[in-house]
Amino acid sequence: MSTFEALAGNEAVATAMRQINPDLVAAYPITPQTSTVQKFADFVSDGLVDTEFVCVESEHSAMSACVGASAAGARVMTATAANGLALMWEIVYIAASNRCPIVMSLVNRALSGPINIHCDHSDVMGMRDAGWIILFSESGQEAYDNLIQAVRIAEHPDVLLPVAVCQDGFITSHGMERVEVYDDPDVKAFVGQFKPQWSLLDLENPKTYGPLDFYDYYYEHKRQQVDAMEHAQGVIMEVAKEFNAKFGRDYGLFESYRVEDADVAVVAANSTAGTAKVVVDQLRGDGLKVGLLKPRLFRPFPAKELADALGHLKAVAVMDRSISFGAMENAGPLFLELAAALALHGVQMPMADYVYGLGGRDILPGEIESVYRDMLHAAETGQVEQMVTYLSVRE
């Protein structure tokens, strides 16, 4: 049995953390993540978890404490956003390099400046190459579900990489929704016990984490991280399959919403996918063959599977909630990577990028509809009018 609760996305994440009952949580408050850790701190104070909760003086220290505890063999979690993630930076890479299966709730927010506390994806896009597995969540429910799965993914012996679970700042983190909360014993049984293979607290077998690693072995250790990423996709699907069977969900590498028989599709991550589904249904009502592809797994990037899912379309638009400044056409990172994936897998079609919603600017159904209309036009003419559009920016 499960219960349905009215929870904000951050509360849903905190609830997952309570059920997972990690050995250690180290975090520093930053908007819009704060209410996750605040709620979890309540659970600690109320004795509902056994977690060692470390109040640190900065995010750099938070991630450092996580790395230390993870090396010691603990199941470790943290939560942050934007500038907090940026302050963790150095240790974000070290967590992945030291193969620490830390799970992070990342509440996506614009990375300064000028300073802004609202949603966009510039924070997570900065950690693309850090060696973390990255999952997107459309809703609080998905953030909750992904967090539970993230523990299993991170700790899998073939993976042993940290995982960041994203949701949109304020839009879902503070938006209250109906969340299905599974029974505590079911979640606990699903995540199981962490059995670290190399614990620093195993005093019988002393070992060293994070030694100096020069030109003679560093490269081999980077190659191992590639190997872990290569294993990750299979493990993510394995864990999703088990999760879906147990909790009645339908998680995969991405969600294809009415894409199968569509002429054109939009690719959009996190909460905007929810809005786009409404637009898809409206346009389908008008007889237009449109679909939505919502990425769930961003790292590792499932290039071939995306090419397979989109290959039959006549045009595709990517909606990017961040800009890769100075990259090709000053496009967004999701577009750039998807364009490369399609090209490398022999898929050719008109493609366009729509940057939107920076710094929390609303994205409305009418704007998404305009993207679909542009793509339907591109499908007819065989070319896009403009490769990169900054949607709804004031001229």
Partner 1 sequence: MSGTGWKDIPIGGMILEAGNAVEYLTGGWRAFRPVRGEADCTHCFQCWLFCPDSSILVDTENEKMIGFDLDHCKGCGICASVCPVNSRVIRKAGEELAKDDARLCIRIVEEGKFQE
Binding site for partner 1 (CB under 8 A): 97-99, 160, 198, 205-211, 213, 215-218, 220-221, 223-224, 227-228
Q: Is 338 exposed, middle or buried (0-12, 13-18, 19+ CB in 10 A)?
A: buried
Place of tokens 């002393």: 206
DSSP 84-95: HHHHHHHHHHHH
Q: Shortest Cβ distance from residue 306 to partner 1 (Å)?
A: 28
The least distance separating partner 1 from the CB of residue 282, rounded to whole angstroms, comes to 50
In the bound state with partner 1, the residue whose beta carbon lies nearer, of 189 and 219, is: 219
Distances (CA, A) of 239 to 12, 103, 284, 376: 20, 15, 33, 37
Interacting residues of 216 by C-beta distance below 8 A, sequence separation 6+: none
Compute the least distance from the CB of residue 96 to partner 1, in Å.
Answer: 9
> Cβ closer to partner 1: 210 or 365?
210
Closest approach, Cβ 134 to partner 1, in A, equals: 19
Contact (Cβ atoms closer than 8 angstroms) between residue 20 and residue 150: no
Backbone angles phi, psi at 13, to 5 degrees: -65, -45
Q: Can you say whether the dihedral through the CA atoms of 205, 209, 212, 215 is positive or negative?
A: positive
Nearest to partner 1 of 195, 223 (CB atom): 223
Residue 183 or 198 having the CB closest to partner 1: 198
Complex with partner 1: residue 202 or 329, whichever CB lies closer: 202
Comparing CB distances to partner 1, the nearer of 80 and 98 is 98
Q: How many Cα atoms sit within 13 Å of 203 on the Cβ side?
A: 0
Smallest separation, CB 224 to partner 1 (Å): 5
Task: Give least dist CB 100 to partner 1, A.
Answer: 8
Tokens at residue 202, please? 């195993």
